[in-house]
Amino acid sequence: MSEIKQSNSATSEEKDEQDWNAAKAFFDNLKTNKPRPPKSQYAVTVAVSSRTLFNMVAERKIYEEEGLEKYVAHQVAHEDEPLKPGPAFQFVQALMNVNSRLRELYPDSEELFDIVLMTNNHAQVGVRLINSINHYDLTIERFCMTGGESPIGYLKAYMTNLYLSKDSEKVTEAIEEGIAAATMFMPEVENELSETQLRVAFDGDAVLFSDESEIIVKQQGLDSFFDHEKEFENKPLAQGPLKCFLEALGKLQKKFYLKNERMNCPIRTFLITARSAASSGARVLKTLRSWGLEVDEALFMAGAPKGPMLQKIKPHIYFDDQMFHIEGAKELGTISAHVPYGIGQKYHRGKLIEQTGKK
Protein backbone atom coordinates (compact mmCIF):
# COMPACT_ATOMS: atom_id res chain seq x y z
CA MET A 1 0.00 0.00 0.00
CA SER A 2 2.80 2.42 0.89
CA GLU A 3 4.43 1.73 -2.46
CA ILE A 4 1.19 2.73 -4.21
CA LYS A 5 1.03 5.93 -2.18
CA GLN A 6 4.63 6.74 -3.03
CA SER A 7 3.91 6.07 -6.70
CA ASN A 8 0.87 8.34 -6.65
CA SER A 9 2.88 11.01 -4.87
CA ALA A 10 5.65 10.82 -7.44
CA THR A 11 3.09 11.06 -10.23
CA SER A 12 1.57 14.12 -8.62
CA GLU A 13 4.99 15.74 -8.24
CA GLU A 14 5.82 14.98 -11.86
CA LYS A 15 2.51 16.50 -12.96
CA ASP A 16 3.19 19.64 -10.92
CA GLU A 17 6.61 19.91 -12.53
CA GLN A 18 5.12 19.44 -15.99
CA ASP A 19 2.51 22.12 -15.30
CA TRP A 20 5.22 24.46 -14.04
CA ASN A 21 7.39 23.86 -17.10
CA ALA A 22 4.43 24.38 -19.42
CA ALA A 23 3.52 27.65 -17.68
CA LYS A 24 7.15 28.81 -17.77
CA ALA A 25 7.40 27.98 -21.47
CA PHE A 26 4.18 29.89 -22.13
CA PHE A 27 5.39 33.05 -20.40
CA ASP A 28 8.86 32.75 -21.93
CA ASN A 29 7.22 32.54 -25.35
CA LEU A 30 5.00 35.51 -24.47
CA LYS A 31 8.06 37.56 -23.54
CA THR A 32 9.80 36.59 -26.78
CA ASN A 33 6.93 37.23 -29.16
CA LYS A 34 5.09 40.04 -27.39
CA PRO A 35 7.44 42.35 -25.53
CA ARG A 36 5.99 44.26 -22.62
CA PRO A 37 4.73 47.75 -23.54
CA PRO A 38 7.16 50.63 -23.03
CA LYS A 39 6.89 53.02 -20.11
CA SER A 40 4.36 55.74 -20.85
CA GLN A 41 6.73 58.65 -20.25
CA TYR A 42 8.90 57.53 -23.18
CA ALA A 43 6.31 56.03 -25.53
CA VAL A 44 4.12 57.49 -28.25
CA THR A 45 0.76 56.30 -26.93
CA VAL A 46 -2.05 55.66 -29.41
CA ALA A 47 -5.43 54.87 -27.85
CA VAL A 48 -7.92 53.13 -30.12
CA SER A 49 -11.52 52.22 -29.44
CA SER A 50 -12.74 48.66 -29.98
CA ARG A 51 -14.98 49.86 -32.86
CA THR A 52 -12.04 51.41 -34.70
CA LEU A 53 -9.75 48.43 -34.21
CA PHE A 54 -12.44 45.91 -35.18
CA ASN A 55 -15.53 45.97 -37.37
CA MET A 56 -18.36 45.78 -34.83
CA VAL A 57 -21.22 47.08 -36.97
CA ALA A 58 -23.37 43.96 -36.43
CA GLU A 59 -22.67 43.98 -32.69
CA ARG A 60 -23.47 47.69 -32.46
CA LYS A 61 -26.80 47.04 -34.16
CA ILE A 62 -27.68 44.47 -31.48
CA TYR A 63 -26.82 47.00 -28.78
CA GLU A 64 -28.94 49.74 -30.35
CA GLU A 65 -31.96 47.55 -31.18
CA GLU A 66 -31.98 44.97 -28.36
CA GLY A 67 -30.12 46.64 -25.50
CA LEU A 68 -27.01 46.14 -23.41
CA GLU A 69 -27.79 42.73 -21.91
CA LYS A 70 -28.42 41.12 -25.31
CA TYR A 71 -25.27 42.76 -26.65
CA VAL A 72 -23.08 41.40 -23.83
CA ALA A 73 -24.70 37.95 -24.11
CA HIS A 74 -23.98 37.92 -27.86
CA GLN A 75 -20.33 38.84 -27.33
CA VAL A 76 -19.89 36.15 -24.67
CA ALA A 77 -21.57 33.52 -26.86
CA HIS A 78 -19.25 34.40 -29.78
CA GLU A 79 -16.07 35.12 -27.83
CA ASP A 80 -14.14 32.38 -29.66
CA GLU A 81 -14.95 33.97 -33.03
CA PRO A 82 -12.41 36.69 -33.91
CA LEU A 83 -13.85 40.05 -34.87
CA LYS A 84 -13.12 41.33 -38.36
CA PRO A 85 -10.61 44.18 -38.85
CA GLY A 86 -11.89 47.75 -38.53
CA PRO A 87 -10.61 51.08 -39.90
CA ALA A 88 -7.67 51.38 -37.47
CA PHE A 89 -6.50 47.79 -37.89
CA GLN A 90 -3.88 48.31 -40.61
CA PHE A 91 -2.72 51.51 -38.93
CA VAL A 92 -2.05 49.53 -35.74
CA GLN A 93 -0.20 46.84 -37.70
CA ALA A 94 1.97 49.57 -39.26
CA LEU A 95 2.77 50.96 -35.78
CA MET A 96 3.88 47.47 -34.73
CA ASN A 97 6.15 47.24 -37.76
CA VAL A 98 7.82 50.52 -36.80
CA ASN A 99 8.36 49.12 -33.28
CA SER A 100 10.07 46.04 -34.73
CA ARG A 101 12.41 48.21 -36.78
CA LEU A 102 13.18 50.43 -33.78
CA ARG A 103 14.02 47.41 -31.62
CA GLU A 104 16.47 46.21 -34.28
CA LEU A 105 18.35 49.52 -34.04
CA TYR A 106 17.77 50.29 -30.35
CA PRO A 107 17.17 47.00 -28.47
CA ASP A 108 16.74 48.66 -25.06
CA SER A 109 14.87 51.78 -26.14
CA GLU A 110 11.53 52.69 -24.55
CA GLU A 111 10.78 55.19 -27.33
CA LEU A 112 8.22 53.09 -29.16
CA PHE A 113 4.54 53.16 -30.07
CA ASP A 114 2.35 51.93 -27.23
CA ILE A 115 -1.15 50.90 -28.35
CA VAL A 116 -3.92 51.06 -25.74
CA LEU A 117 -7.41 49.66 -26.27
CA MET A 118 -9.65 52.38 -24.84
CA THR A 119 -13.31 51.35 -24.81
CA ASN A 120 -16.51 51.85 -22.85
CA ASN A 121 -17.31 48.16 -23.28
CA HIS A 122 -18.05 46.03 -20.23
CA ALA A 123 -15.41 43.67 -18.92
CA GLN A 124 -17.41 40.60 -20.03
CA VAL A 125 -16.81 41.66 -23.63
CA GLY A 126 -13.07 41.79 -22.94
CA VAL A 127 -12.56 38.07 -23.56
CA ARG A 128 -13.66 38.37 -27.18
CA LEU A 129 -11.49 41.44 -27.66
CA ILE A 130 -8.48 39.65 -26.16
CA ASN A 131 -9.10 36.56 -28.29
CA SER A 132 -9.38 38.71 -31.42
CA ILE A 133 -6.15 40.58 -30.61
CA ASN A 134 -4.31 37.31 -30.04
CA HIS A 135 -5.81 35.80 -33.21
CA TYR A 136 -4.25 38.58 -35.30
CA ASP A 137 -1.05 38.59 -33.20
CA LEU A 138 -1.39 42.26 -32.28
CA THR A 139 0.78 43.65 -29.51
CA ILE A 140 -1.79 45.37 -27.31
CA GLU A 141 -1.23 44.79 -23.62
CA ARG A 142 -2.95 47.81 -22.06
CA PHE A 143 -6.76 47.78 -21.86
CA CYS A 144 -9.11 50.39 -20.41
CA MET A 145 -12.70 49.11 -20.28
CA THR A 146 -15.02 51.57 -18.59
CA GLY A 147 -18.32 49.64 -18.44
CA GLY A 148 -20.51 52.18 -20.19
CA GLU A 149 -18.80 55.31 -18.83
CA SER A 150 -16.85 57.67 -21.09
CA PRO A 151 -13.16 56.71 -21.29
CA ILE A 152 -12.05 60.28 -22.06
CA GLY A 153 -11.10 61.01 -18.46
CA TYR A 154 -8.45 58.29 -18.61
CA LEU A 155 -6.66 59.56 -21.71
CA LYS A 156 -4.35 61.94 -19.87
CA ALA A 157 -3.54 59.28 -17.27
CA TYR A 158 -2.32 57.08 -20.12
CA MET A 159 -0.32 60.05 -21.50
CA THR A 160 -2.17 59.65 -24.81
CA ASN A 161 -0.63 61.19 -27.93
CA LEU A 162 -3.52 60.23 -30.24
CA TYR A 163 -7.06 58.95 -29.61
CA LEU A 164 -9.09 57.28 -32.39
CA SER A 165 -12.78 56.52 -32.01
CA LYS A 166 -16.00 56.02 -33.98
CA ASP A 167 -17.82 58.31 -31.55
CA SER A 168 -17.57 61.94 -32.71
CA GLU A 169 -18.81 63.29 -29.37
CA LYS A 170 -16.02 61.54 -27.49
CA VAL A 171 -13.49 62.78 -30.05
CA THR A 172 -14.70 66.37 -29.62
CA GLU A 173 -14.47 65.95 -25.84
CA ALA A 174 -10.89 64.69 -26.16
CA ILE A 175 -9.85 67.63 -28.38
CA GLU A 176 -11.38 70.04 -25.87
CA GLU A 177 -9.14 68.36 -23.27
CA GLY A 178 -6.12 69.16 -25.45
CA ILE A 179 -5.61 65.62 -26.77
CA ALA A 180 -5.07 64.88 -30.47
CA ALA A 181 -8.12 62.90 -31.59
CA ALA A 182 -10.14 61.97 -34.67
CA THR A 183 -13.26 60.07 -35.70
CA MET A 184 -12.39 57.16 -37.99
CA PHE A 185 -14.25 56.03 -41.09
CA MET A 186 -14.01 52.81 -43.07
CA PRO A 187 -13.30 53.35 -46.79
CA GLU A 188 -15.92 52.28 -49.32
CA VAL A 189 -13.35 50.31 -51.33
CA GLU A 190 -10.18 48.60 -50.15
CA ASN A 191 -6.67 49.67 -51.16
CA GLU A 192 -3.56 47.58 -50.64
CA LEU A 193 -1.38 49.41 -48.14
CA SER A 194 2.34 49.23 -47.42
CA GLU A 195 3.39 46.49 -45.00
CA THR A 196 6.82 47.99 -44.40
CA GLN A 197 6.17 51.73 -44.02
CA LEU A 198 3.71 53.67 -41.85
CA ARG A 199 2.20 56.39 -44.05
CA VAL A 200 0.34 59.25 -42.35
CA ALA A 201 -1.30 62.15 -44.23
CA PHE A 202 -2.42 65.43 -42.65
CA ASP A 203 -4.52 68.33 -43.83
CA GLY A 204 -3.07 71.70 -42.82
CA ASP A 205 -5.47 74.34 -41.47
CA ALA A 206 -7.50 73.24 -38.42
CA VAL A 207 -5.50 69.99 -38.26
CA LEU A 208 -1.74 70.67 -38.01
CA PHE A 209 -2.32 74.43 -37.77
CA SER A 210 -4.98 76.54 -36.07
CA ASP A 211 -8.10 77.63 -37.92
CA GLU A 212 -7.09 81.32 -38.05
CA SER A 213 -6.73 81.28 -41.84
CA GLU A 214 -10.03 79.45 -42.36
CA ILE A 215 -11.76 82.12 -40.26
CA ILE A 216 -10.51 84.80 -42.66
CA VAL A 217 -11.65 82.79 -45.71
CA LYS A 218 -15.16 82.27 -44.30
CA GLN A 219 -15.59 85.80 -42.96
CA GLN A 220 -13.72 87.93 -45.52
CA GLY A 221 -13.22 85.79 -48.64
CA LEU A 222 -10.26 84.38 -50.58
CA ASP A 223 -8.75 87.70 -51.68
CA SER A 224 -8.45 88.88 -48.07
CA PHE A 225 -7.01 85.50 -47.14
CA PHE A 226 -4.25 85.74 -49.78
CA ASP A 227 -3.42 89.29 -48.70
CA HIS A 228 -3.30 88.20 -45.06
CA GLU A 229 -1.01 85.24 -45.74
CA LYS A 230 1.38 87.42 -47.75
CA GLU A 231 1.48 90.06 -45.01
CA PHE A 232 2.12 87.50 -42.25
CA GLU A 233 4.26 85.06 -44.25
CA ASN A 234 7.04 85.19 -41.66
CA LYS A 235 4.75 84.85 -38.66
CA PRO A 236 4.23 81.18 -37.72
CA LEU A 237 0.69 79.87 -37.61
CA ALA A 238 -0.61 78.77 -34.22
CA GLN A 239 -0.61 75.03 -33.65
CA GLY A 240 -3.63 72.86 -34.39
CA PRO A 241 -4.92 69.77 -32.59
CA LEU A 242 -2.67 67.24 -34.37
CA LYS A 243 0.60 69.18 -34.35
CA CYS A 244 1.72 67.19 -31.30
CA PHE A 245 1.19 63.87 -33.12
CA LEU A 246 3.28 65.00 -36.09
CA GLU A 247 5.89 66.04 -33.52
CA ALA A 248 5.80 62.55 -31.97
CA LEU A 249 6.22 60.93 -35.39
CA GLY A 250 9.14 63.24 -36.14
CA LYS A 251 10.85 62.26 -32.90
CA LEU A 252 10.77 58.59 -33.91
CA GLN A 253 11.84 59.39 -37.48
CA LYS A 254 14.97 61.11 -36.15
CA LYS A 255 15.98 57.89 -34.38
CA PHE A 256 16.24 56.27 -37.81
CA TYR A 257 18.06 59.26 -39.28
CA LEU A 258 20.70 58.98 -36.54
CA LYS A 259 21.43 55.47 -37.79
CA ASN A 260 21.75 56.71 -41.39
CA GLU A 261 18.33 55.18 -42.22
CA ARG A 262 16.59 58.28 -43.61
CA MET A 263 16.00 56.69 -47.02
CA ASN A 264 14.85 53.46 -45.40
CA CYS A 265 12.75 55.01 -42.65
CA PRO A 266 9.52 53.05 -41.90
CA ILE A 267 7.59 56.29 -41.22
CA ARG A 268 6.58 58.70 -43.98
CA THR A 269 4.48 61.83 -43.47
CA PHE A 270 2.46 63.88 -45.93
CA LEU A 271 0.90 67.34 -45.86
CA ILE A 272 -1.98 67.58 -48.33
CA THR A 273 -3.65 70.97 -48.21
CA ALA A 274 -6.23 72.86 -50.26
CA ARG A 275 -3.92 75.90 -50.15
CA SER A 276 -2.22 77.24 -53.26
CA ALA A 277 1.57 76.98 -53.08
CA ALA A 278 2.29 80.31 -54.78
CA SER A 279 -0.34 82.33 -52.91
CA SER A 280 -0.28 80.85 -49.41
CA GLY A 281 2.17 77.95 -49.23
CA ALA A 282 5.26 79.70 -47.91
CA ARG A 283 3.73 80.46 -44.51
CA VAL A 284 2.88 76.79 -44.00
CA LEU A 285 6.41 75.58 -44.72
CA LYS A 286 7.98 78.35 -42.64
CA THR A 287 5.68 77.46 -39.75
CA LEU A 288 6.83 73.83 -39.81
CA ARG A 289 10.44 75.03 -39.96
CA SER A 290 9.90 77.31 -36.94
CA TRP A 291 8.57 74.30 -35.00
CA GLY A 292 11.61 72.23 -35.90
CA LEU A 293 9.36 69.83 -37.80
CA GLU A 294 9.23 68.58 -41.35
CA VAL A 295 7.00 66.46 -43.56
CA ASP A 296 8.38 64.10 -46.17
CA GLU A 297 6.01 65.32 -48.87
CA ALA A 298 3.97 68.55 -49.14
CA LEU A 299 1.14 68.64 -51.68
CA PHE A 300 -0.62 71.96 -52.37
CA MET A 301 -3.89 71.21 -54.17
CA ALA A 302 -5.08 74.82 -54.82
CA GLY A 303 -8.67 73.74 -54.23
CA ALA A 304 -8.56 70.56 -56.36
CA PRO A 305 -10.10 67.34 -54.92
CA LYS A 306 -7.76 65.47 -52.59
CA GLY A 307 -9.22 61.99 -53.13
CA PRO A 308 -7.29 61.06 -56.31
CA MET A 309 -4.00 62.19 -54.76
CA LEU A 310 -4.68 60.22 -51.58
CA GLN A 311 -5.45 57.20 -53.74
CA LYS A 312 -1.85 57.40 -54.96
CA ILE A 313 -0.34 58.06 -51.52
CA LYS A 314 -2.29 55.20 -49.88
CA PRO A 315 -1.89 56.37 -46.27
CA HIS A 316 -2.74 54.15 -43.32
CA ILE A 317 -4.63 57.15 -41.99
CA TYR A 318 -5.58 60.58 -43.36
CA PHE A 319 -6.65 63.45 -41.07
CA ASP A 320 -8.91 66.31 -42.25
CA ASP A 321 -11.30 68.73 -40.55
CA GLN A 322 -13.69 68.93 -43.52
CA MET A 323 -16.20 66.10 -44.03
CA PHE A 324 -16.32 67.02 -47.74
CA HIS A 325 -12.71 65.87 -48.11
CA ILE A 326 -13.29 62.85 -45.85
CA GLU A 327 -16.17 61.67 -48.04
CA GLY A 328 -14.14 62.09 -51.23
CA ALA A 329 -11.24 60.16 -49.73
CA LYS A 330 -13.49 57.32 -48.48
CA GLU A 331 -15.02 56.85 -51.91
CA LEU A 332 -11.58 56.14 -53.38
CA GLY A 333 -10.42 53.77 -50.65
CA THR A 334 -8.57 56.02 -48.19
CA ILE A 335 -8.87 55.27 -44.46
CA SER A 336 -9.93 58.67 -43.17
CA ALA A 337 -10.21 60.37 -39.79
CA HIS A 338 -12.25 63.51 -39.15
CA VAL A 339 -10.83 66.14 -36.79
CA PRO A 340 -13.78 68.13 -35.37
CA TYR A 341 -11.97 71.38 -34.73
CA GLY A 342 -12.16 75.05 -35.64
CA ILE A 343 -14.63 77.34 -37.33
CA GLY A 344 -15.70 74.74 -39.89
CA GLN A 345 -16.91 72.50 -37.08
CA LYS A 346 -18.68 75.43 -35.41
CA TYR A 347 -20.52 76.23 -38.64
CA HIS A 348 -21.52 72.57 -38.97
CA ARG A 349 -22.76 72.42 -35.37
CA GLY A 350 -24.63 75.69 -35.83
CA LYS A 351 -26.58 74.26 -38.77
CA LEU A 352 -27.27 71.10 -36.79
CA ILE A 353 -28.67 73.15 -33.89
CA GLU A 354 -30.90 75.10 -36.28
CA GLN A 355 -32.24 71.88 -37.82
CA THR A 356 -32.73 69.83 -34.66
CA GLY A 357 -32.88 72.34 -31.83
CA LYS A 358 -30.31 70.20 -29.97
CA LYS A 359 -27.11 71.61 -28.55
List pLDDT tens digits, range 300-355.
999 899 999 999 999 999 999 999 999 999 999 999 999 999 876 654 444 433 33
Q: Average pLDDT, stretch 232-237? A: 89
State the CB neighbour count (10 A cutoff) for residue 19: 10
pLDDT (tens digit per residue) in 64-74? 999 999 999 99
Q: Average pLDDT, stretch 257-271? A: 96
pLDDT (tens digit per residue) in 177-189? 999 999 999 998 8
**Can you tell me the distance from the alpha carbon of 204 to that of 81, in angstroms, rounded to the nearest whole number?**
41
pLDDT of residue 19: 54
Percent of the chain, pLDDT > 70? 86
pLDDT (tens digit per residue) in 87-109? 999 999 999 999 999 999 999 99
Three-point CA angle 61, 67, 70, nearest 5°:
90
* CATH architecture for the domain at 198-356: 3-Layer(aba) Sandwich (3.40)
Res 10 pLDDT > 70: no
> Any residues with CB less than 8 A from the CB of 208 and at least 6 apart, and which?
202, 239, 240, 242, 243, 246, 271, 288
Q: Which residue has the higher pLDDT, 215 or 286?
A: 286
pLDDT of residue 21: 55
Q: First vs last Cα of the chain: how many Å apart?
A: 82
Q: Average pLDDT, stretch 107-112? A: 92
- Look up 203 and say whether it is catalytic: yes
Question: Do 198-356 and 44-185 fall under one CATH topology?
Answer: yes
Provide the pLDDT confidence category of residue 33 given band limits of 50, 70 and 90.
Answer: low
Q: Which residue has the higher pLDDT, 42 or 132?
A: 132
CB-count burial class (<10 Å; 0-12, 13-18, 19+) for 2? exposed
pLDDT of residue 233: 87
- Going by CATH, does the domain composed of 44-185 fall within 1.10.10? no
Res 80 pLDDT > 50: yes
Q: Which residue ranges make up each domain of the chain? A: 44-185, 198-356
Provide the pLDDT confidence category of residue 227 given band limits of 50, 70 and 90.
Answer: confident
State the CB neighbour count (10 A cutoff) for residue 134: 12
Q: Which of 203, 205, 211, 321 is catalytic?
A: 203
Residue 26 DSSP label: H
State the CB neighbour count (10 A cutoff) for residue 6: 10
Average pLDDT, the chain: 87
pLDDT of residue 26: 43
Res 140 pLDDT > 80: yes
**Can you tell me the distance from the alpha carbon of 75 to that of 96, in angstroms, rounded to the nearest whole number?**
27
Provide the pLDDT confidence category of residue 215 given band limits of 50, 70 and 90.
Answer: confident
pLDDT of residue 349: 46
State the CB neighbour count (10 A cutoff) for residue 324: 12
Q: Give the lowest-confidence range in 40-44, 150-154, 236-240.
A: 40-44
Res 27 pLDDT > 80: no
Q: Average pLDDT, stretch 130-158? A: 94
**Can you tell me the distance from the alpha carbon of 239 to that of 207, in angstroms, rounded to the nearest whole number?**
8
Evaluate whether 95 touches 38 at the Cβ level (below 8 Å): no
Best CA proximity match to 91, nearest among 317, 318, 324, 275: 317
Q: What is the DSSP string of 160-207?
A: EEEEEES-HHHHHHHHHTT--EEEEE--SS-----SS-EEEEE-TBTT
CB-count burial class (<10 Å; 0-12, 13-18, 19+) for 316? buried
Q: Average pLDDT, stretch 249-267? A: 96
Q: Average pLDDT, stretch 259-265? A: 95
Confidence (pTM):
0.85
pLDDT of residue 226: 81
pLDDT of residue 15: 55
